């Protein structure tokens, strides 16, 4: 499958990993939008939020169970924002479910 994040999971493309376990991987975004910009992904290929179901939602739960520690370890000491883009209108560019953690500064109020 031609999925850049599956290739990162497989170690075929390098990434700046900040957290990894048997279910999920977190790494620095290559084009950071804030001082802290980390992506958290499931190790199973789920195309987007639209692909979450009762079979795979444990990956999503596991991601959110780990987000607070990942955010703090990455340098978010005063809060952070978690975003996932789903589909065309949201401009999802990588079709493997991922959650952006943004922080390390006071973020703009406007979400679009």
- Residue 54 to residue 85: CA distance in whole angstroms: 20
Please give the residue ranges that form the binding site for Zn ion (CB under 5 A).
3, 5-6, 45, 96
Partner whose binding site includes residue 13, from Zn ion, ligand AMP, none (CB under 5 to 8 Å by kind): ligand AMP
Structure tokens at 13: 């493309």
Q: How many CB atoms sit inside 10 A of residue 84's CB?
A: 17
- Measured from the CB atom, the residue of 15 and 71 that comes closer to ligand AMP is 15
- Measured from the CB atom, the residue of 54 and 93 that comes closer to ligand AMP is 93
Secondary structure letter of residue 49 according to DSSP: G
40 bridge partner residues = 26, 99
- Measured from the CB atom, the residue of 49 and 54 that comes closer to ligand AMP is 49
Asked if 98 is an active-site residue, the reply is yes
CA 51 to chain centre: 15
Partner whose binding site includes residue 31, from ligand AMP, Zn ion, none (CB under 5 to 8 Å by kind): ligand AMP
Selecting among 45, 62, 98, 100, the annotated active-site residue is 98
Partner whose binding site includes residue 53, from ligand AMP, Zn ion, none (CB under 5 to 8 Å by kind): none
Q: How many CB atoms sit inside 10 A of residue 67's CB?
A: 20
């Amino acid at each position: 499958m031609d999925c850049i994040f599956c290739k990162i999971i497989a170690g075929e493309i390098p990434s700046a990993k900040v957290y990894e376990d048997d279910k999920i991987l977190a790494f620095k975004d290559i084009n950071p939008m804030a001082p802290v910009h980390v992506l958290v992904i499931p190790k199973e290929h789920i195309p987007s939020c639209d692909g979450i179901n009762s079979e795979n939602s444990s990956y999503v739960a596991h991601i959110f169970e780990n987000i607070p520690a990942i955010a703090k370890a990455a340098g978010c000491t005063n809060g952070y924002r978690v975003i996932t883009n789903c589909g065309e209108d949201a401009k999802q560019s990588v079709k493997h479910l991922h959650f952006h953690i943004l922080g390390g500064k006071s973020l703009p109020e406007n979400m679009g």
